[in-house]
Copies of this chain bind each other. A is one copy, B any other.
Amino acid sequence: MTLNVYLSGEIHTDWREQIIDGAKGLDVTFSSPVTDHDASDDCGVAILGAEDNKYWHDHKGAMINAIRTRKAIEDADVVVVRFGEKYRQWNAAFDAGYAAAKGKSLIVLQQPEHDHPLKEVDAAALAVAREPHQVVEILRYVLTGGLSS
């Protein structure tokens, strides 16, 4: 069994690297959104031409990013969504809803202070983790049946 895992959400800490490093040796393929904040914001106008209006500037970029995101979620068996300390992160919650509707196994990675506002998202998840290493342990267990001692 190979697991395709999409790592959605917060882009300002190294949680993705921690999971990818921790999962070395497991039969997992990871995908992510573009995590270069500037490229992600500006890809639309950089490729397709400038816009006077900031709304359309953002829109062109978000739609190109959607080509990557939709493909990655469609191909995923497991979608991990990380909610960080800062920002509103509506795109993370959007990805969680999208993944849930597509029948993907959802793992939410978040701190306890967000339990209440995230309760609807958590209710659609198969696991709520606090730390990246817990996500690694879940992947290891799902693939090998083994638990770390």
Contacts and interface: CB of A to CB of B under 8 A. Distances in A.
B54 A138 contact: no
Q: How many A residues touch the partner, as a band?
A: 35 or more
Nearest to A115: B55
Contacts of A61: 119
A145 B34 contact: yes
B90 A35 contact: no
Interface string A94-124: 1111111111010100001011111111111
Interface in A40-74: 40, 42-44, 46-49, 51-56, 58-72, 74
Nearest to A149: B46
Contacts of A112: 55
Interface of A: 1, 3, 31, 34-36, 39-40, 42-44, 46-49, 51-56, 58-72, 74-75, 77-78, 83, 87-103, 105, 107, 112, 114-124, 126-130, 134, 137-138, 141-143, 145-147
The 6 closest A-B pairs by CB, nearest first: A97-B97, A101-B101, A93-B93, A62-B123, A97-B98, A94-B97
